[in-house]
Amino acid sequence: MARKRRRARSKKDDDILTVVEKQETSEETEVSDEKPQESATKKEATITKTAPKAAPTKPVAKKGPTSGQRMGSFLRDVRAEMKKVTWPDRERTTQSTGVVIFTLLVLSGLMAFFTFLCTEFAQYFFGSARGGG
C-alpha cells in the first residue's frame, strides 16, 4: 500500500509543478521587461512555496467488508452453488434410503453378536459378572 501512496503523491507533486510552470510561462509572456535572472529566481521561489512537503503519515488500515457484508456474500455464493446441484429423483432417493437402513440393521446385528460373545468369554474366564460369586 505504501507504494501506491508514493506513486499517487509523486503524481500529485508532478501535477502541481506542471501547473506552477504553466503559470510562470504565462507570467513571463505577460511581463517581457523583467530580467531573465529575476524570473528564474521567482520561478524557484514559486515552486518551493506551492510544492507540498511530505509529512509523515500513519499507515491507514484498509477496511474490509463488514461481517454482514461477508454473510450476505456467503449466502449468495451458497444459493449459486445450490442451483448447480443435480438432485436425485424419488426412485433413486428411495433406493439409497433402503440400502442405508439395510446396512444399519446388518451392522447392528454384528455388533450385538460380538458383544454377546465377549460377554460369554468374560463370564467363562472371570466367573459370573452378575455378582454372587
Among 9, 32, 54, the domain-final residue is: 54
**Whether 48 and 96 share a structural domain:** no
**Whether 2 and 49 share a structural domain:** yes
Would you state the pLDDT for residue 55? 67
Does the residue 62 lie in any domain? no
Q: What is the 3-state secondary structure (H, E, C) of 84-101?
A: HCCCCCHHHHHHHHHHHH
pLDDT digits (tens, 9 = 90+) for 67-103: 889 999 999 999 999 999 999 999 999 999 999 999 9
Task: Please give the residue range of the domain that contains residue 125.
Answer: 91-133
Does the residue 82 lie in any domain? no
Which helix (H) or strand (E) segment is 131 a member of?
A: none
> What total number of domains does the chain contain?
2
CB-CB neighbours of 42 under 10 Å = 15
For residue 12, what pLDDT band results from cuts at 50, 70 and 90? low
Does the residue 80 lie in any domain? no
Interatomic CA distance for residues 85 and 75, integer angstroms: 16
Does the residue 68 lie in any domain? no
Does the residue 84 lie in any domain? no
Give the three cell numbers for residue 106: 446388518
* DSSP per position, 34-62: S-HHHHHHHHHHHHHHHSPP----PPPPP
Q: Check if the beta carbon of residue 65 is closer than 8 Å to that of residue 73.
A: yes
